[in-house]
Chains A and B, each alone.
Chain A
């Protein structure tokens, strides 16, 4: 595992951290890195999507969920971190009027996306507490925020040529239904968050069901056209 230096690691909301790592490896919106603190336990790295890329720095937004992310949250500037990436394919080439839809920690890929396509509308859905809204508003005048409701209720798919989605499974399922009722035009892409072990397509623990058979979230995705995913 390659090593990189942590430049900062800041708590920005309850259980939500933003970490900046010195790495010239860059990446595209929707790609991810495998991150691992140097502790012996837990064994596996955590797949974390790219929040931002600046010159020789990559930023990650993550939520403390279990032991692995707790270890990440304990890292201080100057600490070494195990890092592999960028991995996965990222979102497809954008076209026309774009919308980005993020739920909770799923807003992470859209900061960097919005920097590249500031004309996009961005929908941010939070269950309890909103965060980073001002940062997003600095990049776009069309930021729609919802706390406690269903952000998917606010979207009219017919207004967009392409919609990128990242969030919890119920939200992506809602987007799939919305897409089906609007005639499956094939323009909605979802980022599949999944437990991974290797992150490179060898272990098959992140395998998901799609209309085209089993696919690997890490190496074939994590981005898939929403109508292809079979949610279990």
Chain B
């Protein structure tokens, strides 16, 4: 019997395959293609306190083995999420992660409080709404907030500290590969009581239209994801796993079971799948099956046998 379970704080994942925020909506769209209960977990579309329209202009551009996106956190706001999406999430038997974004420290804090209150009121009725918060201080496509908080350790510390105080829910902080001191950022999150980390978000990048002599994106820069970033993301996950003792959800260009194994060998507790969901709408199901097949083939009984062996 193969054991694929993973754990962050007291949350148990049936397997390490978690769908990354921003690539999976709130799950409904993919439920037409496979049973979401096969997944280890899913992280919903990044939410802000108030609804957000996102960025104008072009939002996607393909690159060699990757893509640039400039969605800019378009989302329905936390309140609408609570009323419209949580009832759906409550039917799912997989780890459900709320991705929390913001534009100011006060907004992050208020968002976390709202999620906490709703969670507590549901708990009393025996209706768990979601399992975990993923604090997003790393979105490169939002001018204020977003990545601005994810670059410098001391600005990020204030956000992490306030959100940590505002909620008793397990808290994972999603880190930016654009951080000036990624390891320092990770250590700070652990000091401030984060239960885990997820990394990396997209790399700040650009594309110039040489005929128009301008960026193809209104925001000048956009976020790079996909297989192109995998070797760098893997190195970053390895560095962070060496430096902290809290679990890490590793991501960046994963598109096969072998890619997932690499991240786990680098020390990741779970992985997250992002861009590959667009390439293959059934990625979650296929990667989950692929991981088990790999373990069987290689005679691996439990992921603990290979986790962090490098």
Q: Do A and B come from the same complex?
A: yes
Chain A residues within 8 Å of B, Cβ to Cβ? 1, 36, 40-45, 67-68, 84, 195-198, 200-207, 209, 213-214, 219, 232
Secondary structure at the B interface, as helix, strand, loop or mixed, is loop
Question: Which A residues are CB-close (under 8 A) to B275?
Answer: 43
Q: Given A36-B279, A197-B67, A200-B30, list of 5 further CB < 8 A pairs? A: A1-B279, A41-B65, A198-B277, A203-B60, A205-B60
Does B87 reach chain A (CB closer than 8 Å)? no
CB nearest to B280 among chain A residues:
A1
CB nearest to B64 among chain A residues:
A41
CB nearest to B19 among chain A residues:
A202
Query: When the two chains form their complex, are residues B59 and A204 in contact, meaning their CB atoms are under 8 A apart?
Result: yes
Which of A68, A202, A207, A232 is within 8 Å of B277, CB to CB?
A202
Query: When the two chains form their complex, are residues B65 and A40 in contact, meaning their CB atoms are under 8 A apart?
Result: yes
Question: Which B residues are CB-close (under 8 A) to A209?
Answer: 53, 56
**16 A-B residue contacts at CB 8 Å?**
A43-B62, A43-B66, A43-B227, A43-B278, A68-B62, A84-B281, A195-B58, A198-B29, A200-B281, A202-B30, A203-B22, A203-B60, A204-B71, A209-B53, A213-B53, A232-B56
Q: Which 3 pairs show the lowest CB-CB distances between chains A and B? A: A202-B25, A205-B60, A205-B59
* Bound CA span A209–B282, Å: 29
* Bound CA span A148–B30, Å: 43
* Bound CA span A219–B281, Å: 15
Query: When the two chains form their complex, are residues B226 and A43 in contact, meaning their CB atoms are under 8 A apart?
Result: yes
Question: Which A residues are CB-close (under 8 A) to B62?
Answer: 42-44, 67-68
The verdict on A202 contacting B282 (CB below 8 Å), with A40-B65, A44-B62, A195-B59 known, is no
Query: When the two chains form their complex, are residues B278 and A214 in contact, meaning their CB atoms are under 8 A apart?
Result: no
Question: Which A residues are CB-close (under 8 A) to B56?
Answer: 209, 232
* Bound CA span A174–B282, Å: 40
* Bound CA span A197–B63, Å: 13
CB nearest to A218 among chain B residues:
B29
Secondary structure at the A interface, as helix, strand, loop or mixed, is loop
Query: When the two chains form their complex, are residues B29 and A232 in contact, meaning their CB atoms are under 8 A apart?
Result: no
Query: When the two chains form their complex, are residues B30 and A197 in contact, meaning their CB atoms are under 8 A apart?
Result: no
The verdict on A202 contacting B54 (CB below 8 Å), with A44-B278, A214-B74, A219-B29 known, is no
The verdict on A207 contacting B278 (CB below 8 Å), with A42-B62, A43-B62, A202-B29 known, is no
Question: Which B residues are CB-close (under 8 A) to A197?
Answer: 60, 67, 69, 278
* Bound CA span A219–B30, Å: 12
The verdict on A214 contacting B29 (CB below 8 Å), with A40-B65, A205-B60, A207-B59 known, is no
Query: When the two chains form their complex, are residues B282 and A205 in contact, meaning their CB atoms are under 8 A apart?
Result: no
Question: Which A residues are CB-close (under 8 A) to B59?
Answer: 195, 204-207
Does B24 reach chain A (CB closer than 8 Å)? yes
* Bound CA span A197–B56, Å: 17
A201 CB → nearest B CB, Å:
5
Does B37 reach chain A (CB closer than 8 Å)? no
B143 CB → nearest A CB, Å:
18
* Bound CA span A68–B74, Å: 27
Q: Hey, what's the 0/1 contact readout for B12-56 against A, CB within 8 Å counting as 1?
A: 000000000011110001101000000000000100000001101
Question: Which B residues are CB-close (under 8 A) to A43?
Answer: 62, 65-67, 226-227, 275, 278-279
Interface core residue of A45, A68, A205, A214 (most chain B CB under 10 Å): A205
Q: Hey, what's the 0/1 contact readout for B165-178 against A, CB within 8 Å counting as 1?
A: 00000000000000
* Bound CA span A204–B278, Å: 12
